[in-house]
């Protein structure tokens, strides 16, 4: 826990300064999670504010401060879902689109706008986002929380309110789909390397 239980209790009692402090402590972590969940940097702050807005109005429903972090993650996941649902035209980086994106990136590079590290980072982001396009929105978020946010199964259990076995099955299936897509990409790259 990044904050004391007492601070949460004070915020629950309507102490604005305590709530402010909680936001300051958690906002960077939430911004990071949302960045990875929605893949649209321009909307990240807006979604993060929505998370804290929901937190403010639902804080009195939190029974025990011990479950604050899973609760905050649940709010984050729900806000990300809602955002993606609204977007509808989710960024489906299909496999076939990858080459086009790489061309755009090459153009940017030709203009000298990105250095090598940034190019690599961008390529990684695009590849992972394309791979995660192989699974449903729900599984994508679940997989991200597990693989990228590093949440444990226990934490995910609390967030999703489902038992560990069901969670494991869902994660396994999602990972298998991503793995399959990854293998396909790797196979496509091989002849290029050979050439």
Partner 1 sequence: MHGSVDDQLDALFRAYREACPAPEPSRDFMPQLWQRIEARQTFAFSFRRMANALVTAAMLASVALGVYMAVPHSAASNSAYYSSYVEALADANTIDTPDIVAPVRLDLSEPQ
Q: Does 127 bind partner 1 (CB under 8 A)?
A: yes
CB 24: neighbour CB atoms within 10 A? 10
Q: Are 145 and 69 in contact (CB under 8 A)?
A: no
Q: Does 49 bind partner 1 (CB under 8 A)?
A: yes
Q: Does 120 bind partner 1 (CB under 8 A)?
A: yes
Binding to partner 1 by CB under 8 A, coded x per residue (else -) over 78-97, reads: --------------------
Tell which residue, 119, 95, 105, has the closest CA to residue 178: 95
Q: How far apart are CA 128 and CA 69, in angstroms?
A: 26
Query: Environment class of residue 49 by beta-carbon count within 10 Å: exposed (0-12), middle (13-18) or buried (19+)?
Result: middle
Q: How far apart are CA 66 and CA 167, in angstroms?
A: 22
- Name which of residues 29 to 48 contact partner 1 (CB under 8 A): 29, 31-33, 35-36, 41, 44-45, 48
Q: Does 59 bind partner 1 (CB under 8 A)?
A: no
Query: Interface residues with partner 1 (CB under 8 A)?
Result: 20, 23-24, 27-29, 31-33, 35-36, 41, 44-45, 48-49, 52-53, 56-57, 120-122, 124-125, 127-128, 131, 147-148, 175, 178-179, 182-183, 186
């Amino acid at each position: 826990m990044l904050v004391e239980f007492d601070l949460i209790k004070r915020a629950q009692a309507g102490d604005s300064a305590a709530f402010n402090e909680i936001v300051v402590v958690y906002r960077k972590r939430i911004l990071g999670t949302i960045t990875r969940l929605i893949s649209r940097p321009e909307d990240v702050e807006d979604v993060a504010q929505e998370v804290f807005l929901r937190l403010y109005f639902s804080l009195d429903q939190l029974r025990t401060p011990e479950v604050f972090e899973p609760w905050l993650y649940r709010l984050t996941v729900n806000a990300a879902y809602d955002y993606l649902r609204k977007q509808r035209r989710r960024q489906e980086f299909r496999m076939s689109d990858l080459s086009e994106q790489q061309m755009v990136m090459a153009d940017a590079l030709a203009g000298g706008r990105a250095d090598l590290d940034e190019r690599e980072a961008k390529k990684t982001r695009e590849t992972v986002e394309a791979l995660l396009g192989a699974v449903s929105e729900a599984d994508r978020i679940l997989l991200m929380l597990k693989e990228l946010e590093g949440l444990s199964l226990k934490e995910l259990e609390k967030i999703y309110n489902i038992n560990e076995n069901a969670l494991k099955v869902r994660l396994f299936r999602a990972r298998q789909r991503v793995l399959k897509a990854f293998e396909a990409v790797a196979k496509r790259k091989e002849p290029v390397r050979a050439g």
